[in-house]
Every structure is written in structure tokens, then in C-alpha cells.
């Protein structure tokens, strides 16, 4: 996983929310995949990106969210943000946004029966516990700068993993 800060945080808790932009990509479904998460808080931020050699688009969409939430948990432990800080999650994936905002309670009630990627959804539940997450759908490839940046990095990571696999 690659992570780069694009500025450092100011005083703790001065920023009233965290923005988390995520995207995933798969070259083939299944195929090589990549994900990206861009976090902004407190005047600071971080870009996270990575991928897998054989995966699906939906898994990469979720992986971006999960990696972003792991970073948010670190920020909480470091005292940079509060556990009650609102987290505005932006994704162009209906699967992610509707999964979080609509479908997840019923999936849990049914024990994730007939649900794809139950391992990742369970990880989401663990990482999101006690967090205030507000999911927002953004139209992909429509000029949203952070969504476009996530898309670029996710596709770049998918290509990198595809090239790795081709060189074996």
C-alpha cells in the first residue's frame, strides 16, 4: 500500500469533518485491480492506493473504503481527529453507497446469505463501528476533481498489478 501526505494537520479537532473519496478499478472482472482513497482533514490529507493481482471491480471499490477507514482509525488513535468527527464518504459506486446506506442492515439480518464479498462487508462493519459515516454518491467521470484523481490512481494500480502478472 502506498500512502503519501499532501500536507500536515493543524491543531487537533479544528476541522469539523473528514472527507473520504474512494474508487476502485478492475482490468477484467475478475482481473488485476486497483483502489484509491483520498482523505482530507484538519487542513491535512493523505492519498492511499494499492491493488491486487486477481480481483473484481466491486472488491476494489470496497477495498478503497476499507483502507480509508483504517487510516481514519489511525488518526483517531493519534488524537488528530475525534471518534465523533463526521466522515463524508464519496464514491461513484452505487454498490458501495447503496450497500452502506440501504442494503447492509438486511444483509446483516440474513447473515450475509447470497451477498457477494461478505468478508469485506464484515470488515466494513468492524472498521465503521461507532463512526459517523455519511455516504454520498458522485457521478463518475463527471469532472469531480477528487473522484477523477481516485479513478486515475485506481486504474494506475490495476495496470501496475496487470504488468506484474504479465512479467511472471
What residues are annotated to the active site? 23-24, 61, 92, 141, 151
- Taking CA atoms, 126 is separated from 4, 29, 88, 167, in Å, by 25, 27, 18, 37
User: What's the DSSP call for residue 85?
Assistant: -
Task: Let me know how long the chain is.
Answer: 168
Cβ-proximal residues to 87 (8 Å cutoff; 6+ apart), any chain: 17, 18, 20, 72, 131, 132, 133, 134
Question: 3-class secondary structure for 116-132?
Answer: CCHHHHHHHHHHHCCCE
Amino acid at each position: 500500500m502506498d500512502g503519501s501526505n499532501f500536507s500536515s494537520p493543524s491543531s487537533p479537532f479544528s476541522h469539523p469533518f473528514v472527507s473520504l473519496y474512494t474508487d476502485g478499478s478492475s482490468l477484467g472482472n475478475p482481473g488485476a485491480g486497483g483502489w484509491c482513497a483520498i482523505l482530507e482533514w484538519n487542513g491535512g490529507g493523505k492519498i492511499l492506493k494499492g491493488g491486487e493481482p486477481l480481483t473484481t471491480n466491486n472488491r476494489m471499490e470496497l477495498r478503497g473504503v476499507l483502507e480509508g477507514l483504517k487510516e481514519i482509525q489511525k488518526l483517531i488513535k493519534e488524537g488528530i481527529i475525534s471518534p465523533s468527527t463526521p466522515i463524508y464518504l464519496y464514491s461513484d459506486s452505487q454498490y458501495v453507497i447503496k450497500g452502506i446506506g440501504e442494503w447492509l442492515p438486511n444483509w446483516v439480518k440474513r447473515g450475509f446469505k447470497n451477498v457477494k464479498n461478505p468478508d469485506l462487508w464484515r470488515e466494513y462493519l468492524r472498521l465503521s463501528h461507532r463512526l459517523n459515516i455519511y455516504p454520498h454518491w458522485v457521478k463518475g467521470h463527471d469532472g469531480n476533481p477528487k473522484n477523477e484523481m481516485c479513478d486515475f490512481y485506481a486504474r494506475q494500480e490495476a495496470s501496475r498489478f496487470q504488468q506484474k502478472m504479465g512479467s511472471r
